[in-house]
Amino acid sequence: MPEIDRRCLRILGLLGMLALPAACAMAQIPDKLPPAPDYLGEIRRSPDGQLKTVAADAKQAAAASKPATMVVGPGEKITTITEAARLAQDGEVIEIRPGDYHGQPVIWAKNEIIIRGSGARPVMLADGKSAEGKAIWVVRGGKVRIENIEFRGARVASLNGAGIRFEKGDLTISACAFFDNEMGILTANFPEQSLEIIDSEFGDAPRHSGDLHHLLYVGGIGKFVLRGSRFQNGYLGHLVKSRARENHILYNMLVDGAGGRASYELEFPNGGLAYVIGNAIGQSAGTDNPSIVSYGAEGRRWPDNALYMAHNTLINDYHAGRFLNLNADKFGAEVEVWVLNNLLVGAGDLYKPVQGRFDGNRQVARGELIEFGGVPLRLTNMSPLRGAIRPPGQARGIELMPVAEFKFPVGSRPMRPSSLLAPGAFQ
């Protein structure tokens, strides 16, 4: 073997002997990954397409702010509405399982709570019991929302037993039902209160001769909104009565029906500011009062009083009557009244205001309309009244042109009027 090759082998061997201790030492050191970095947040794409960071503390705060949920019903840890109301805390969601809940009146006194029925609508049956001699439920928390609950059979000694007695705060009612109660909902009279009712049903007033059972009685509260809801089968009392300072009555079906004997279908006894837009309002042949809509029968309560009625379909199945009865003489000054683009079905008079606007109102026979659910509502496509009126404009910044219409059996849906604008609630 050449001398140079022997020298190379000796050098390689020497290097191997030197590397062996180092290799052994490395083998004795356990594997150790670098420490995980602190979680600082996430990168997400915003609706405008930009990448933005979501801080970890914000994510954790959002998770912590998610409201607690209490589940109530058969087979659950909490089985009764009574116990649920006792245990409820501010900011909680109370979820009620389907079923009939007999004789469990309660008082809801917590703030920022949601009470909702899950699945098929749970039914609260009074069965002769009431909270404080007032109602199946008394609500006097702060901000409260009630969804998908039915109330039946409220009776009390004073004859004004309500499905819900609303006494304090802000209350929203959504997709609920009130049947066979002396009052569906009855409120207190505090101006700081507000009530909003959406997509709900009221009906079947008790047939007690001489007693006035209103399906909905709103007292002297600050603001009342009624939208997409249905009222029928009253008896002697009114379908809707409101003493509120500000009223928004939008896209409802306030039609008593063939078996109803309500008095007024819609009344504002103390005036106030009232926007009545896109409703179907009708009295039966057996009505207890020939007027359909009444304003100001008991005189002034609020400093600001005005009535704006636009694009309603007013139906009179009585042999005579008044579509609108306005008592402006009880206010000591002229009340601004706008009556625009309403469709009048059947016989009757429409009050023409001394001060305000009166235009686009048309009267037709029942046979000129298409019926829905037995109620004459929509003009035919070939009706000469299509395109015969002008847009109603705005009042105090509120658009009087309807942007929705009532949807059977309850609720509302968006609607865009065609270029051939027609009077009434349905385009």
Contact between 286 and 317 under an 8 Å Cβ cutoff? The reply is no
| Residue 218 structure tokens | 């709103």
Report CA 303 to chain centroid distance, whole Å.
27
Q: Is the pLDDT higher at 2 or at 285?
A: 285
- What mean pLDDT is predicted for residues 405-414? 96
pLDDT band at 339 (very low <50, low <70, confident <90, very high): very high
pLDDT, tens only, 161-195: 999 999 999 999 999 999 999 999 999 999 999 99
Cα–Cα distance for residue pair 239/264, rounded to 1 Å: 7
pLDDT, tens only, 357-387: 999 999 999 999 999 988 999 999 999 999 9
Query: What is the residue whose two structure tokens read 């659950």?
Result: 76
Cα–Cα distance for residue pair 86/77, rounded to 1 Å: 14
CB atoms within 10 A of CB 36: 6
Q: What is the pLDDT of residue 164?
A: 98
Cα–Cα distance for residue pair 135/155, rounded to 1 Å: 8
The closest of 308, 305, 310 to 335, measured between CA atoms, is 305
Residue 290: exposed, middle, or buried by beta-carbon count in 10 A (0-12, 13-18, 19+)? middle
Residue 310: exposed, middle, or buried by beta-carbon count in 10 A (0-12, 13-18, 19+)? buried
| Residue 207 structure tokens | 């047939």
Q: What is the 3-state secondary structure (H, E, C) of 216-256?
A: EEECCCCEEEEECCEEECCECCCCEEECCCEEEEECCEEEC
What residue ranges define each of the domains in the chain, with the CATH number in brackets? 66-414 (2.160.20.10)
- Looking at the chain, the whole-number percentage of residues with pLDDT higher than 70 is 85
Q: What is the pLDDT of residue 355?
A: 84
Q: What is the pLDDT of residue 44?
A: 56
- Looking at the chain, the whole-number percentage of residues with pLDDT higher than 90 is 78
Query: Which 3 state secondary structure label does DSSP give 66?
Result: coil
Cα–Cα distance for residue pair 360/197, rounded to 1 Å: 29
Cα–Cα distance for residue pair 265/209, rounded to 1 Å: 19
pLDDT, tens only, 21-63: 444 344 444 455 566 555 555 665 554 445 665 555 544 554 4
Q: What is the pLDDT of residue 202?
A: 98
Query: What is the residue whose two structure tokens read 């609630």?
Result: 425
pLDDT, tens only, 59-104: 455 445 567 999 999 999 999 999 999 999 999 999 999 999 999 9
Contact between 132 and 164 under an 8 Å Cβ cutoff? The reply is no
Q: What is the pLDDT of residue 65?
A: 56
Q: Which residues pair with 143 in a beta bridge?
A: 170
Cα–Cα distance for residue pair 361/342, rounded to 1 Å: 5
Contact between 272 and 296 under an 8 Å Cβ cutoff? The reply is no
Query: Which 3 state secondary structure label does DSSP give 182?
Result: coil
Q: What is the pLDDT of residue 333?
A: 77
Q: Which pTM does this prediction carry?
A: 0.85
Cα–Cα distance for residue pair 104/171, rounded to 1 Å: 21
Residue 144 confidence (pLDDT) above 60: yes
Q: What is the pLDDT of residue 208?
A: 86
Q: What is the pLDDT of residue 353?
A: 82
Rounded mean pLDDT of the chain?
Answer: 89
